[in-house]
Every structure is written in structure tokens, then in C-alpha cells.
């Protein structure tokens, strides 16, 4: 960018993955997270953390804690109440209500004429459908009340990384959207279209169809990100057999087909609860398409993923390592993870995929900040 570095506030910052995705052309003026493990990870990876990281409840912050006027406020608020795996409590839920702690600060900044030029809210796909779309409309009403127009994109990290991780990004601006940033996008999914179509007429006038092109084809698969087989701990034969015993006939058939072909391939296994003949059954589901399932925290519904290796008739299983989880989020190997595996997996599984943020910043956020200057240069 030709302009000076843009400034941003990062709420629910976790290990700073949004900051990494924004890159060196952005300067963090403020970061906040409640989790001490995530905060310690943030400090370990950013030398200037002491200057701007505030650890604690977002509800205990005030506008005075936020320096200057930021170009961007990024909020990856807790998503459990929007997740399909949760109770779908919506914006009234105990965890996702943390969003309103963030929003209270945005209102206070607006009253001081310091409202960020852009707000990005990142969450799970349930944000679009929670309570029949009423929660998404409530979010839109909150944004509109502070002078923002907004649109949403649903981006799967699998377009950038070998991990299936769809997330919704709501991008709001207080300034007119330049024409070159409005149009069609592969990330305006059916769910995004439906959410927009169900907005009340007065709110629909605030809607923006953001244009975000697709990235180049991904050139890495799951196998490319895994550690050397000799450097990891494999399950015993008995434990591998236990994992295989949880597979449905369909998934076992996939596995047996690969064994019969004599190929060497790795896949990702994750646990799900399924209803079969009216009974809840825990199943181990495997995919061999070179993509891992969505990473979750160790406390998540599918818990820690398992790697399965098929080498002819030989089948082995093991746990996904913390470093592999970090790579699946786009974190470099230089990124310092917590020493405890559970903590490291919690930081990685509860973050935002770094390359997704970088693409969004390069193709939409930075041109949006440049505004008319960017159009004149075309």
C-alpha cells in the first residue's frame, strides 16, 4: 500500500491470528482477550504486546482504553452459541453476548467521533441462520444504528488451506462502498443470499454485495503439512482397532478399497454423534480428499482429530499434533505455541485462518480504505 500503515483494534484476539493475516502494512493499536493462555501466546509472538494488549473481560473496558481512531475494528467474538454443535442460543447466549461488550465500545467511540472506518465481525455460519435470521438482522440493525452499511461473505479456509473451515465475515463501512468493490463473489453463498433476502426493507437499503474474487487454486494437501512419520507417536494396534470399530460400513469400505489398491495415503478422522435406528451412535468418520475436518478446541464436540495412514494393508492411526494444527490454520513454524498440547490445540482451534484474513485484507479491506484513490489508479 502507498499510504501509511492502517491501524486496527483486535477484539477476542486469541493468539493474534487476525493480526498475522492483516500483515506488516497494519499496526495494532489495541488487542483484547479474556483467556490467559491465549494472552500468553499473543505475548510470546508479538514483541510489542505490552504496549497494547489488555487481558480481561471486554465488558470492563471503556473507550478511554482505546487509543486514537482506528481504521478497522476486528471482532472474532465467541461462536459457541451460533455453532450447529451448540444450543443455538443466539445473540442472547452467555458466550456470544460478549459481542455486546464489544459493541458497547463501538457505540462509545461513535459518540466521541472516533468510530472505526471499517468493522469486521467473524463468526460461524450459524450467525446467518440463528433464530430464523433474527440474530443476523439484529446485528445489521446495530451496525446501521451507528451509520454503517454492511455485507457478508462466507469463506471456507479450504480455498487456502487443507482444512474445511467455513466462516462468516461481516464487513461494515461508514463510507460509501467504491463501485469496484461491489459485485459478484464466489463467497456470497446461498446462506448469505438468504440472510440478505430476509432483512427488513429499511435494513436492506444498508446491504452491500461485496466483491471478493476467488484465490488461486490451493496447491497443498493434508499430507504436505504433516510431520515426519518417524517423529510422531502412533497408536497401538489395539487403539487403532478401536478407532476402526467406530467407523460406519461406508467409511470402512472406503478404507478397505484403499488397502486393496495398495496405495499410500493419509486421511483425517473425526468423531461425530449420529442417529442410527433411533439410537445415538458415536462414529469415526474419515476423509481421504487431502483436507482435514474443521479444527475445534479440545473441548469441542468432535474433540481432537486423528490421522489415519494407509500403506497397502498396513493401517495406523495417531493424534493430530499441535504443530500440524497450527499449520492447518496457516501459522508459520516460527509461531510459538504453548508447551502443553491441550493449550496449543485450544489456541489453534479457536482462531481464524491466517491466509483467509490476508486475502480479505488484500482484496477488500485495503482497497476499501484507499477508496476513491484506488479507483483513480485503475
How distant, in Å, are the alpha carbons of 9, 57, 94, 289 from that of 61? 13, 7, 18, 45
Give yes or no for a contact between 29 and 8, defined as CB atoms under 8 angstroms apart: yes
Cell numbers 494437501: residue: 221
Adjacency order of strands within the sheet including 279-287: 279-287, 264-276, 306-311, 314-319
Which residues of the chain carry a pLDDT beneath 50? 1, 83-86, 300-302, 373-378
Tens of pLDDT, residues 308-344: 999 999 999 999 999 999 999 999 999 999 999 999 9
Give yes or no for a contact between 330 and 161, defined as CB atoms under 8 angstroms apart: yes
265/78 Cα distance (integer angstroms): 36
Domain residues of the chain, as ranges? 6-216+349-377, 228-320
87/131 Cα distance (integer angstroms): 11
Element (H, E) at 151: strand 149-156
User: For residue 90, what pLDDT is reported?
Assistant: 56
Helix (H, G, I), strand (E, B) or coil at 155: strand
List Cβ neighbours of 169 (8 Å cut-off, separation of 6 or more).
120, 121, 122, 152, 153, 154, 155, 360
The length of the chain, given as a count of residues: 378
User: For residue 273, what pLDDT is reported?
Assistant: 84
User: For residue 101, what pLDDT is reported?
Assistant: 87
Among the listed residues 79, 247, 310, 365, the single catalytic one is 79
Give yes or no for a contact between 268 and 222, defined as CB atoms under 8 angstroms apart: yes
What CATH fold (topology level) applies to the domain 6-216+349-377?
Answer: Rossmann fold (3.40.50)
Could you report how far apart the first and last alpha carbons of the chain are, in Å? 14
Please indicate whether residue 294 is annotated as part of the active site: no
User: For residue 243, what pLDDT is reported?
Assistant: 94
Tens of pLDDT, residues 58-94: 999 999 999 899 999 999 987 655 544 445 565 665 5
User: For residue 79, what pLDDT is reported?
Assistant: 63
Question: 3-class secondary structure for 29-65?
Answer: EEEEECCHHHHHHHHHHCCCHHHHEEECCHHHCCHHH
Q: Specify burial of residue 100 (Cβ count, 10 A radius: 0-12, 13-18, 19+).
A: middle
Amino acid at each position: 500500500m502507498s499510504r501509511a500503515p492502517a491501524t486496527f483494534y483486535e477484539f477476542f484476539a486469541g493468539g493474534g491470528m487476525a493480526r498475522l493475516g492483516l500483515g506488516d502494512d497494519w499496526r495494532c493499536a489495541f488487542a483484547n482477550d479474556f483467556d490467559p493462555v491465549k494472552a500468553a501466546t499473543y505475548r510470546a509472538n508479538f514483541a510489542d504486546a505490552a504496549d497494547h494488549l489488555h487481558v480481561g473481560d471486554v465488558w470492563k473496558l471503556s473507550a478511554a482504553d482505546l487509543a486514537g481512531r482506528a481504521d478497522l475494528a476486528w471482532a472474532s467474538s465467541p461462536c459457541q452459541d451460533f455453532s450447529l454443535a451448540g444450543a443455538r442460543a443466539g445473540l442472547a447466549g452467555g458466550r456470544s453476548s460478549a459481542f455486546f461488550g464489544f459493541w458497547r465500545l463501538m457505540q462509545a467511540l461513535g459518540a466521541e467521533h472516533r468510530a472505526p472506518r471499517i468493522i469486521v465481525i467473524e463468526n460461524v455460519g450459524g450467525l446467518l441462520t440463528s433464530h430464523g435470521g433474527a440474530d443476523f438482522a439484529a446485528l445489521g440493525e446495530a451496525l446501521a444504528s451507528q451509520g454503517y452499511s454492511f455485507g457478508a461473505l462466507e469463506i471456507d479456509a479450504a480455498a487456502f488451506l487443507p482444512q474445511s473451515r467455513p466462516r462468516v465475515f461481516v464487513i461494515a463501512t461508514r463510507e460509501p462502498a467504491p463501485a469496484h468493490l461491489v459485485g459478484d463473489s464466489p463467497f456470497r453463498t446461498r446462506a448469505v443470499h438468504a440472510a440478505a433476502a430476509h432483512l427488513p426493507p429499511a435494513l436492506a437499503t444498508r446491504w452491500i454485495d461485496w466483491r471478493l474474487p476467488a484465490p488461486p487454486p490451493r496447491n497443498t494437501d493434508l499430507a504436505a503439512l504433516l510431520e515426519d512419520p518417524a517423529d510422531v507417536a502412533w497408536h497401538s494396534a489395539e487403539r487403532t482397532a478401536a478407532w476402526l470399530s467406530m467407523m460406519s460400513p461406508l467409511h470402512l469400505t472406503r478404507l478397505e478399497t484403499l488397502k486393496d489398491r495398495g496405495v499410500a495415503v493419509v486421511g483425517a478422522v473425526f468423531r461425530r454423534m449420529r442417529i442410527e435406528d433411533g439410537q445415538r451412535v458415536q462414529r469415526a468418520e474419515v476423509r481421504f480428499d487431502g483436507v482435514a475436518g474443521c479444527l475445534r478446541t479440545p473441548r469441542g464436540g468432535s474433540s481432537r482429530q486423528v490421522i489415519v495412514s494407509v500403506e497397502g494393508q498396513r493401517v495406523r492411526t495417531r493424534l493430530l499434533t499441535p504443530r500440524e494444527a497450527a499449520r492447518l490454520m496457516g501459522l508459520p513454524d516460527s509461531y510459538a505455541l504453548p508447551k502443553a498440547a491441550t493449550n496449543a490445540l485450544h489456541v489453534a482451534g479457536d482462531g481464524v485462518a491466517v491466509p483467509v484474513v490476508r486475502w480479505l485484507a488484500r482484496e477488500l479491506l485495503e482497497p476499501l480504505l484507499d477508496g476513491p484513490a484506488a479507483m483513480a489508479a485503475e
